[in-house]
Structure formats: structure tokens, C-alpha cells
A and B are shown apart, each in its own frame.
Chain A
Amino acid sequence: MKPADSSGATGVRVEIDDVQSGALRPRPVPYEGKFIFLRVDDRHAGRALLRRLLPVTSGGLPDADRSGEAWVAVAFTYQGLRALGVPQESLDSFPQAFRAGMAARAELIGDVGESAPAHWEAPFGTGDVHIALSALSSDAAQLDRELKRARVAYEDTPGVQVIWQQEVRQLPTGRTTFGFRDGISHPNIEGVGLPGSNPQEAPIKAGEFILGYPDETGSLPPMPEPEVLGRNGTYAAVRKIHTNVAAWRRYLRANSSSAEEEARLAAKMVGRWPSGAPLTLTPEHDDPELAADPQRVNNFLYRENDDRGYRCPASAHIRRTNPRDSTIIGDARMHRLIRRGTTYGPPLPEGVLEDDGADRGLVGVFLGAHLERQFEFIKAEWVNDGNFIGYPGEQDPVAGHHGGTGTVTIPEKPVRRRLQNLPSFVVTRGGEYCFVPGLRALRWLAELEG
């Protein structure tokens, strides 16, 4: 196994070729992809499937020469590991949040009301989701070829059922259903050899993202046993989020007096302009040229130029979910995530303010070595509350579940603006906690006996 170049004082060498490519690499632009959930009714069939999937599953970093390449990633829920016959003492060694599953944690991560598991789309939260496959590519033909190879693996395996599929693809605008470019930020991970998107971000310990290496606390992240199963794995929170684009547009319209003001209000809530240009660098107007420059689009911090949030409000979606060096409670580096958002469904045509009934939104994948300290913490403390920035009870304007009574404070001189009566712009349609094993671990699972 060839270790990646190390960086940083500790000289940690990550066995990058054993880490699934789908875990660490940023999403391609543009992209097409598919999520497939499988149920394992027979453990031997499940293991046979894994043996067929092994050659389809890639490890290591993206190859610069193969821009059209696609990759398939394989992940397992707790129920899935059980269904495959992973020994009980090994199952018991997984962290509590993973064992409980996302549905059981719904209340604390704020999936309540219309986002509660009782309203989730089947088979989310039912315990039937055992294996989650994802395939992403910047090239539709390549994606098709990879999916065919994967399909051969599961279609020829009685005892394993496909129970859910979701196609995702970048909209022609290159933006999310809300109209904003996403997928810009990627953390700078020590010893991995992938560049972070923010040149000003000091490398974050590999153990924040991959099991088997020290994390920011200086300890090894808690790892499932045996070591071959845990090492080079990570966790993924997978979520299907419906976006209520008409409600978003209506709220902006109702709280602005011109198209220009509307665009500005939306940018204040997101933290970036539609092109992706950050408010911190260009507070008054969008700057597509800046946004198109990968050296500049994410090259900023908050504290020095915008501590009080006059440019990018502390409550803005991107500032809350990745506060960088902002003045906040706690230490932002302890709560970093790899985020991979992909869009599903048709766009709501430009200018339409009434809901057309179509299902649209995003399938989000949030990766890291600590489900509780990363995904769950960010949801509970940063998205669903504002105490960490001094606005107790205020939720993320875009991703919060406001239920019509939300407020959001936007710093302005001479007097701050306060948005009132925010509706929820997103609804959780379902989610699962998954374990994304390394390739050796995948082989170990495939070769389980008994």
C-alpha cells in the first residue's frame, strides 16, 4: 500500500489507497450520479454481492489524467452490518449514534414536525436499508458503464434486493434548486495529498475524517473492532432534503422592495451570491469572475475583516456551518465535515412563485470520523440554534426548521435587521447513518464466515 505524501509536524501517513475514493474526494463539476439502497435478506448472498462489488469499488485519490472517471462507493448501516453477520462484539464496538441510526436521533438533530421520521419516504428509517451504493461522475457515459458493472453485482445476487434509487445531477444552471452554486468548500486534510479549498485553512488532522489516525484532540477516534474493519473507514450521514423553492422565493419577495434587494437578502441568508462569490469578499454585489477563480472563491476568513458580520452575517448558512475563524463558542476545527451535496428533481422555472408539486432538493452526504461531534453537533448547535454566535434560538435561515416563527438577525448600520416569521425552506425526506469501510475492511466483510 503506497502512503500519500505526509504534511505537518506529525508526519502521519494516511494509507490513502485503502480509503474509498468516494469518501475523501470532492464531488466533480458538473456531475451525474445515483444512490442505490439494498436490503440483504441472506448474509451469504450479501457477502457474495460484496465480493462482486470489490473490483468496482475504487480507492485512493482521483487521477488527474482521467477526468472522465467515475467511482462507486459502498457503505453500510448498522442493520446492514448485522444482516451480513458481523459478530456481535464487533457490532457493539461501533459508536452509539451509529448503532441507533439517524431516525432514532431525529429529535436531537432537529428532524421534527413535517421532517420527523414518521413522514419519511420509505425505506428511510425503517431498518431495511442495509447497503448504500453511490456512483458519481462528471461524465454520463462513464457513470453508465460503472453502474452497469455495479448492477451486474447485485442483479445476479438473489437474496439481495434493490429497495430505493435516486438519480442526482447538476442542474443546467450549475446551481442548487435554490439557485446557488455549491460544493465549493473542501477541508485541508493532513497527510492526504488533496488540496483544501481555502489556502488559509491550516491542515486538519486526518483522524477527523479517517479512522485509525490521531484527530484534533490528539487521540485516535473511537474505532470499531477488529482493527481491520475500522481502519481507513469513516462515517457518512446521508440525507434526502426536499427544498421548498417557491416558499423561498415568496419569502424573499415579501421582505424586499426590489429585485436587487431580493438578491441581496438571499445572499445574506446564504453567505454567498448565486455565482458562489462569498459576501465576505464582495459584500455589495455578485462577482462571477471572482467566483470562477478557484484561488479566490474560498480564500477568506471571517474574524479579521468581518467579525461583527456586516458583510456576511454570523447567521448566514455558510458561516454557521463552517465558521472558520469566526468568534464563536468553542473551536470550529473540532466540528469540520466533508460535505457533498447533489441535486435531484427538476428546477422550478425562473420567476415562478407558486409550488408546482414537483419533488426537488438535494441528497447530501456528510462525512467524518465522529458522527456525534461533527454531523450531529453541527445540526443541533449550529444549524438549529444560534447560541454559539450570540443569537440563542435563531436557526440557520436556509437549513433550519423554522415552522413559520423563525427569526434571523442581519447586522446592519445603524440598526440591525431582523427577519420575522420565517417558514421552513427545507423538509427532511429521510436519512441514514452509514459506515464507509476501507477496501481491506470491505474484503474482510466479504469473507466473513458462518
Chain B
Amino acid sequence: MTATTGAGRSAHPERPGKSDGVCSEFTVFTEIKPGHADALREDLAAMADTADDERVHAAVRQIGTLHDARHVIFDNDTRFMFASVFDGSWDTYIDDFAKTVVGERFDKVFSHSVGFPGVKDPGVKDWFVAHQAPAGVFVSAYPDLTVQQIYKDQRVDEAFQEVLDTAEFRAALENPANAELVATPAFQKLLEEASA
């Protein structure tokens, strides 16, 4: 595994929020505009609609640093929470993010919150930070892995499994001409993964 220390380097170290390894948490609490809870609920339901699923996953892939995100209405329809986990600093990619389909949806969803200036407004980062509540504890199951590394690991495993399914690979393993390579500790590690 490549060292991942650089991924956590932030261009905006002053931002609040807890980090674990390369990723950080971001949680925002806002006030829902009076009478807007149902409209917000409808927008969230539309976001969850599978018809839009592909577009949104493509946009999340384009952003490339977002591990997950959730939107929650609470306190008797008066308050709203957005929570996410991402690589590096939250506002590293926020300008780019405003240009994706996810940015549009953000705009729609947060338009029901009191005082939201719009996702393309130059002051939007300050607004989010003003509504952010840093976690008391934030822990990741994979503190060394960025979203990009996870994608890569997934691709490598899929390709590896495909190789394991070929008869040629088995034959090559048993071929005495390859004995030296197969005996190396590095290759033995690979075989250990191949064995289950």
C-alpha cells in the first residue's frame, strides 16, 4: 500500500471537524424554514428515487473524495442535519462540487434552511462552517484508505480474481520455470490472498 500521509494534507487547516487518518467528518445542523418541512421531505424523497441513482453515483464518483453522506429531518420537523465523511479537507473540492448534479441537489435541499445563501454563493463555505458541529469522536474502519484508494483496491481485486479463474494461471504456478518467482515472499503473500 502506498503511503497515504499526503492525502490528509489540507489547504484549509482552520476548518473545524475531527479527522481519523486520511478522512474527516462534517456535520451541519440547520433550522428548517417554517412550513418548509414537507417540501424538504419531498425533495429528499426525490433524491432517493432510483431513477436518479445513476446520475448521483456518477457525480459522487466525480467528486471522488466523499465516502458517504446523509440527510436527516428531526426535532418535530424544525431542524435538519447533513452529515458526511470525506478525504482531506472539506472545502478542497467544494467549488468544483457546486458544478455537479450533487451541487444542484444540495442547493435544492438546503434552500429550505434559514439563511442558506445558495451553493454557488462565494460565502457558502462560511455559512456551512457557521452551522457545523464538530464530532466528539470520529473513528474510521479504514483510516489509511482514501476513496480513490478504495476504488483502486476494488479494481485490483476484481482483476486478481479474474486471473485466478484462468486455467493458465494454475498451470503457470505449477510450472517449474516459475518456481523462483512463486517462492518469493511477495508472491507468497499474493497466494495467501488467492487461497480463500
Contacts and interface: CB of A to CB of B under 8 A. Distances in A.
A220 B152 CA distance: 38
Contacts of A255: none
Interface string B129-168: 0000000000000000010110110000000000000000
A331 interface: yes
Interface string B1-27: 011111101111100000000100000
B95 A108 contact: no
Nearest to B100: A331
A221 B2 CA distance: 37
B122 A330 contact: no
A380 B92 CA distance: 10
A307 B19 CA distance: 32
Contact of B96 (A219, A334, A393): A334
A10 B95 CA distance: 21
A213 to B, nearest CB: 14
A390 interface: yes
Given A329-B63, A330-B64, A373-B95, A392 B2 contact: yes
Nearest to A389: B148
B20 to A, nearest CB: 15
A142 interface: no
B30 interface: no
A381 interface: yes
Interface string A370-407: 00110011001100111111111111000000000001
A186 B8 CA distance: 31
A392 B122 contact: no
Nearest to A108: B11
Given A376-B11, A380-B11, A334 B4 contact: no
Contacts of A407: 2-3
For chain A, what secondary structure do more than half of its interface residues adopt (helix, strand, loop), or is it mixed?
A: loop
A393 B11 contact: no
Nearest to A332: B96
B92 A381 contact: yes
Nearest to A97: B11
B11 A385 contact: no
Given A329-B65, A380-B11, A381-B11, A395 B6 contact: yes
Given A217-B98, A217-B99, A329 B6 contact: no
Contacts of B151: 390
B68 to A, nearest CB: 16
A385 B65 CA distance: 13
A393 B152 contact: no
A222 interface: yes
Nearest to B97: A330
Interface string A313-332: 00000000000000011110
A121 B99 CA distance: 41
A36 B65 CA distance: 42
Contacts of B97: 330
Contacts of B65: 329, 387
Contact of A385 (B9, B62, B99, B152): B9
A389 B7 CA distance: 11
Contacts of A222: 122
Contacts of B149: 387, 390, 392
Given A217-B120, A219-B121, A329-B65, A390 B152 contact: yes
B87 interface: yes
B145 to A, nearest CB: 8
B24 to A, nearest CB: 13
A351 interface: no
Most chain A Cβ neighbours within 10 Å, of B6, B92, B152: B6
Nearest to A330: B96
Contacts of A221: 122
B120 A329 contact: no
B7 A218 contact: no
Contacts of A328: 64
Contact of B7 (A108, A331, A376, A387): A387
A78 to B, nearest CB: 18
A394 B6 contact: yes
Given A219-B122, A222-B122, A329-B65, A391 B2 contact: yes
Contacts of A334: 95-96, 99
Given A334-B95, A386-B6, 19 more contacts: A218-B120, A219-B122, A221-B122, A331-B96, A376-B11, A377-B92, A381-B88, A385-B6, A385-B7, A385-B9, A385-B88, A387-B87, A387-B148, A388-B148, A392-B4, A392-B22, A393-B3, A394-B2, A407-B2
9 contacts: A107-B13, A108-B9, A218-B120, A331-B99, A373-B95, A377-B92, A390-B152, A392-B7, A392-B146
The 6 closest A-B pairs by CB, nearest first: A329-B64, A385-B6, A330-B96, A393-B6, A392-B7, A380-B11
